[in-house]
Copies of this chain bind each other. A is one copy, B any other.
C-alpha cells in the first residue's frame, strides 16, 4: 500500500472521529475566523496595500448595492446577460460578506441576506438551464460548473453573515437553496461531480464549503471522498470529448489532488486550468485548515498544494502570462484574481517566502483575509525579494513519471529568452496532441508560438463564449503545434483514449551549465512503429548577440513516411535564402487533421545545404537556419482556411517536410538578434550570424552538429542519443578527430 493511501485511511478515520465530536460551531470559520477578523480590524489604516484593496472592494460593492439586487431567470450562455449577472452576484456576495465582517456595517449583511433569500425563493422553481449544450447542465448557469463556482463564493458570504441572519431565515436559505443546490451538483450531477477534472474540483469544493458552513458532515465527506456509487458507465465522455469515468478512479477532493498533480506540482491539464482550479483547491484548504486543522491539509502529499503554486508561477513568461499549453487562453496571467488568492494563501500557509511578496506587489492587491493581511504586512515591512524564475523541469503524472514540461530560461539583465518544451501526458480532456512540441519567448513576446485554444472565453458572439469547433479541428491537432506530424495525421490518430495511455519520456534535462541548457525527450507511441527524439539546447556562444536555440529531431520508423515540422512565428517575413513559389490563388494545405485550416502561401524544394528564413517581430529580428537534405520541401502557411466564422487568428507558419523517409533528422538553429526602432529607424544586427550549420556525425548512438559563425567561431555539439548516464565515458571520432567526454553531451567552441 502506498504512502498516500495510508495517509488517506488515517484521514478517513480522523474524519469519522471529528464527525462524532462536532463542537458547536462559530462563524465566520471558513476563510475568515473570529480571531482573524479581530486581527484584521486592529490593523486597519496601518497597512497600505490592504487598505487600498479594501477601499477598492468597498467602492465596488457599494456601487452594486446602490444598483439593487437583480436575480434574472437563467437563460443565457456565458457572455450573455443572465450569465454575467449571476456571476457578478456571487463575486459581490462574497465581497459583501467580507466587508460586513471587517467593517461591521450591517448594510452589507442585509444585502447578502436579502440576495440569499431571493435566490432561495427562485431556486426551487428552476428547471435545468434552457441551454442544452453541456454534459452536465446547471440551473443558474448553462453548466453545473458555473453553479459550483457560485456556491464556492456564496458559501463564504453565508459564513460571514451567518450569525446576522435569523434562525428562521437561515432555515429557509439552507432548506430551499443550499441543501438542494449541493445535492443537485453532486448526487444530481454525478457525471460532473465524480470525475478527476477541474470541473469536479469546483463541485467537490462547493459542496465541501457549504457543508462546513452548515456543519454538515455528510456533505463534507461527499466533498472529500466523492460519491460512493455514481452509477456512471466507464468510458462516458463530456460535451468536449473528455473522459468522465475511468475504471477504479478515486474521486472527491482527495482524488482530485492525488491524480492530476505531479510531485513537482504540475497540474496535468496545464497552467490555464491549473489557475482556474487553484482557487477552489486553496480556498477549501484554508477552510479545512481553519475547521479541521488536524487534517493538516497543507502537508498533504508532501505539501503539494503550496508546491503547485510555485509550479504555476514558473509556468509564466516574463510578463507573468501563463504558457498556453493545451487549452489555454493567451493573456491569462498571475494578475488574475485566482492567483492573487493563491499567492496570498501560499505565503501565509507556506514558508512565508519573501519572493512571493514580490509577485503580490506586482499584483497590486491582496485578498481581504488573513492571508492578504500577512502579505500586505510583509510588503509594508519591505520583506520582499525577487521571484527568480529559473530553468526548471516539471514532471507530469501522479507519480511524476508521465513525462513533463521543461522550461529553460536565459536571462541577462532584463532580457530573457524562454524555451518551453512539452513532453507531458495527454492532460485530460483539455489536452492537445502535441508530444515534443515547444514554444519560445523573447521576454513577453511569442517568438514561436503555441496557438492555445480556439475559443473566446465569455464572449457571447463567439459560440456563446464556449469552445469553438475549431478547437477540435485545429487547436488540438498536432499540426497546430511546433512538433512532428507523420503522414498528415495527429499523434495517436487524434484519439483521446489512446493518447491518455501514454506519455513521452525524459531523456535528459541538464541546465548545470548556464550557457548550455538542454532538454531531450523521446516519444515512441504517438505513431506506432516510429520513434522520435527531440533535443533542444539554449546555447550562449561567442560571436552571437543572444543565446541561440538548437533543435535536433531524430525520427526512425519501420515504414517510409512523410514528416512535417512546423514553426509558427509571428511578425513580418524579412527574407529567405532560397527561391520559392507563391501561388496566384491559394489552396488549403491539406484535407483533414488541422491541415484543412492552413492556407499554402508559398512553397519550395530546397536545394542548398542550409535554408535561412528571417523575420521581424515587435522590434526584434529572428533567423531560422535549417539543415536540408535533397528533396526536402518548405511551405509558407497561414492559419485561417476553412474558417467560415473567422474563429481563427490568421497567423503564419513555416513547415519543413521530408517525404518518403524512414529515418529523418531535422536540425535547425533559431537566432534572436538585432533591433529595429520605428522612431530612430535604425536597424541593428539585422542579419544572421551563422555561416553554416551541419550534421557532422550521425549514427544510432550519436549525433554531432557543427555551427560556424560568420565571425569565425565554430560550435560543436555532440549528443549520445541512447545512453543518458551522467557518468558514462564516451569516445567518438568525427572528421578524423577524436573526442572524449563524460556525460550525455559534449559541447565545445573552436576559434
A residues with CB within 8 A of B: 79, 84, 329-333, 335-337, 456-462, 465, 572-575, 582, 584-588, 599, 601-602, 614, 616, 636, 638, 640-644, 646, 649-650, 652, 676, 678-683, 686-687
B residues in contact with A573, CB < 8 Å: 646
Give the docked Cα–Cα distance between A88 and B646 (Å): 46
Q: List 16 A-B contacts (CB under 8 A).
A: A79-B683, A329-B681, A332-B678, A333-B678, A336-B680, A337-B680, A459-B574, A459-B676, A460-B687, A572-B649, A582-B642, A582-B644, A585-B586, A585-B588, A638-B650, A650-B652
Q: How many Å from the CB of A615 to the closest CB on chain B?
A: 9
Q: Which B residues are CB-close (under 8 A) to A588?
A: 584-585
Measured in the bound complex, the distance between the Cα atoms of B641 and A586 in whole Å is 9
* Residues of B close to A79: CB separation below 8 A: 683, 686
Q: A586 touching B599 by the CB < 8 A rule?
A: yes
B678 and A330 contacting across the interface, CB-CB below 8 Å: yes
Complex CA distance for A681 and B456, rounded to whole angstroms: 9
**A459/B678 in contact, CB under 8 A:** no
Cβ of A572: which chain B residues have Cβ within 8 Å of it? Answer: 456, 646, 649
**Contact A331 B678, CB 8 Å, known A638-B650, A652-B650:** yes
Residue from A84, A585, A681 having most chain B Cβ neighbours under 10 A:
A681
Closest 4 CB pairs of A and B: A331-B678, A573-B646, A586-B586, A461-B575
* Residues on B with beta carbons closer than 8 Å to the beta carbon of A676: 456, 459
Selected from B331, B640, B678, B686, the residue in CB contact (under 8 A) with A329 is: B678
Closest to A676 in B: B459
Q: Pick the contact of A681 from B332, B601, B682, B686 — CB < 8 Å?
A: B332
CA separation between A462 and B681, bound complex, in Å?
A: 14
A681 x B585 contact (CB < 8 A) = no
Q: A459-B686, A461-B574, A574-B462 are in contact. Are A679 and B586 (CB under 8 A)?
A: no
The docked-state distance in angstroms from the alpha carbon of A457 to that of B687 is 15
Residues of B within 8 A of A575 (CB): 461-462
The docked-state distance in angstroms from the alpha carbon of A585 to that of B679 is: 39
Asked whether A459 and B683 contact (CB < 8 A) given A585-B586, A587-B585, the answer is yes
**Complex formed: what's the CA distance from A574 to B333 in Å?**
24
Closest chain B CB from A681 CB (angstroms):
5
Q: A461–B686 contact, CB under 8 A? A: yes
Which residues of chain B have C-beta atoms less than 8 A from A649's C-beta?
572
Structural contact, B582 and A643, CB atoms closer than 8 A: yes
Task: Return chain B residues, CB-CB under 8 Å to A460.
Answer: 683, 686-687
Q: List 7 extra interface pairs beyond A459-B686, A465-B683, A650-B650, CB under 8 A.
A: A336-B680, A337-B680, A456-B616, A459-B574, A582-B643, A601-B640, A638-B650
Q: Is the CB of A336 within 8 A of B683?
A: no
CA distance A223 to B174 in the complex (A): 91
Query: Which of these, B330, B458, B681, B687, contacts A458 with CB under 8 Å?
Result: B681
Contact of A461 (CB < 8 Å), options: B337, B587, B614 = B614
What chain B residues lie within 8 Å of A84 (beta carbons)?
682-683
Q: Are A679 and B335 in contact (CB under 8 A)?
A: yes
The distance in angstroms between the C-alpha atoms of A330 and B686, with both chains bound, is 19
Q: Which residues of B contact A599 (CB under 8 A)?
A: 586
Q: How far is the CA of A582 from the CA of B650 in the complex (A)?
A: 14
Cβ contacts under 8 Å, A640 to chain B: 601
Q: A572-B649, A587-B585, A686-B79 are in contact. Are A333 and B459 (CB under 8 A)?
A: no
Alpha-carbon separation in the docked complex, A602 to B641 (Å): 11
B682 touching A458 by the CB < 8 A rule? yes
Q: A600 CA to B741 CA in the complex, in Å?
A: 59
User: Complex Cα distance A614/B79, Å?
Assistant: 15
Minimal beta-carbon separation of A571 from chain B (angstroms): 10
Residues in B whose Cβ lies below 8 Å from that of A616: 456, 459
- A459 — which chain B residues lie within 8 A by C-beta? 574, 616, 676, 683, 686
Find out whether the CB atom of B458 lies under 8 angstroms from the CB atom of A683: yes
Docked Cα-Cα span, A616 to B460, in Å, equals: 12
A581 and chain B: residue at smallest CB distance: B644
Closest to A582 in B: B644
Using Cβ atoms and an 8 Å threshold, which residues of chain B touch A614?
461
Given contacts A329-B681, A588-B585, contact A687 B644 (CB under 8 A): no
Contacts of A585 in B (CB 8 A): 585-588
Which residue on chain B has the smallest CB distance to residue A334?
B679
A336–B586 touching, CB < 8 Å:
no
Q: Which residues of the other chain, B, contact A333 by a CB distance below 8 angstroms?
A: 678-679
Inter-chain contacts of A331 with B (CB < 8 A):
678-679
CA A568 to CA B50, docked complex, whole Å: 46
- Write the nearest CB–CB distance from A686 to chain B, whole angstroms: 6
- Max count, chain B CB within 10 A of own CB: residue among A337, A588, A678: A678
Tell me the minimal C-beta distance from A590 to chain B in angstroms. Answer: 13
B682 near A461: Cβ-Cβ < 8 Å: no
Residue of A588, A599, A638 ringed by the most chain B CB atoms within 10 A = A599
Distance between A96 CB and nearest chain B CB, rounded to angstroms: 19
Closest to A87 in B: B682
Question: From residue A476, how far is it (CB to closest CB) to chain B in Å?
Answer: 20
Report the Cα distance A572→B460, complex, angstroms: 14
Complex interface: chain B residues within 8 A of A681 (CB): 329, 332, 457-458
Distance between A82 CB and nearest chain B CB, rounded to angstroms: 14
Is the beta-carbon distance between B642 and A679 smaller than 8 angstroms?
no
Note all chain B residues with C-beta closer than 8 A to A643.
582
Residues of the B chain whose Cβ atoms lie less than 8 Å from the Cβ of A641: 586
A682-B646 Cα distance, complex, nearest whole Å: 21
CA distance A457 to B585 in the complex (A): 30
